[in-house]
Structure 1
């Protein structure tokens, strides 16, 4: 079982891939069979999960490493020369809320949204403050929201919200609420935002 670490004892590695729709399945297979298998025996490896976007042109891996280990220093399998290199970042959890005691990443029919916020490093502390406050409102007012976890990139330029939803319709409903509507967002003046929807297609732990 993969769980998001809300105590910050693990560092998060995020690999964001963009790929031609016809190659999405091939990339996912390469990530699982070539990359994640090469990670399993690493003493710093904790877990990894692979996500497939609904639009067919994105894939991302969410990996955990302990202690603060830069997984980007590991060699990449040669098969990855066939794809565009990923956007790879180191993250840490800054705030998390969920309906259950733990935030679990598992293969299921639930929807995962990954929202990316790009910003100047000077703005990241204020974004951290705002997102912590917004989590409470989101969880209290969004039927179908199972969990939401904000992460900050260690280079200061981004934040990510990893959210889990019962359905696509439940996610779309929150976009109509004040503060979450892209036309009047709580991040206005601090960051640029984009988001995409995914399904979890693979998980791996050391156990």
Structure 2
């Protein structure tokens, strides 16, 4: 079973996409991201997990996605179905996707 893992090091690779969205369209964007994840993203090679977070004020949605490798991220982003999904999300909100490395972790 795959699950979200946060640890220092190279794997998994984390892609975080922060969407600025009009509060009236936040739920529509969430629904589209959930649908795209179920129908397309989770079937891609190297998929580990997706977590979708919604700001309480309704103006942002964060898509926190993890992959086995950077190559898996690149291949996924090149997939025409994923590109179509990206265009649909960009019609609802302003995306800002970036790949991140965990550099430190702190616990209580």
TM-score (norm 2): 0.85
* Counterpart contact for 1:118–1:157, Cα < 8 Å: yes
2:88 is the alignment partner of 1:195: no
Aligned residues: 106
Task: Give me the whole-angstrom Cα distance separating, in 2, the residues matched to 1:189 and 1:162.
Answer: 20
Question: In the alignment, what sits opposite 1:115?
Answer: 17
Q: 1 or 2, which has the higher strand percentage? A: 1
**Offset of residue 151 of structure 1:** 0.7
Match of 2:42 among 139, 147, 163: 139
Map 1:77-156 to 2 at 5 A.
99-100=1-2, 102-110=3-11, 111-136=13-38, 137-140=40-43, 142-156=44-58
2:59 is the alignment partner of 1:157: yes
* RMSD between superposed Cα atoms in Å: 1.9
The 1:168/1:182 distance shift into structure 2, 3 A limit, reads farther
TM-score (norm 1): 0.47
Higher RCO structure, 1 or 2 (CA under 8 Å, sep 6+): 2
2:91 is the alignment partner of 1:169: no
Task: Give me the whole-angstrom Cα distance separating, in 2, the residues matched to 1:176 and 1:128.
Answer: 22
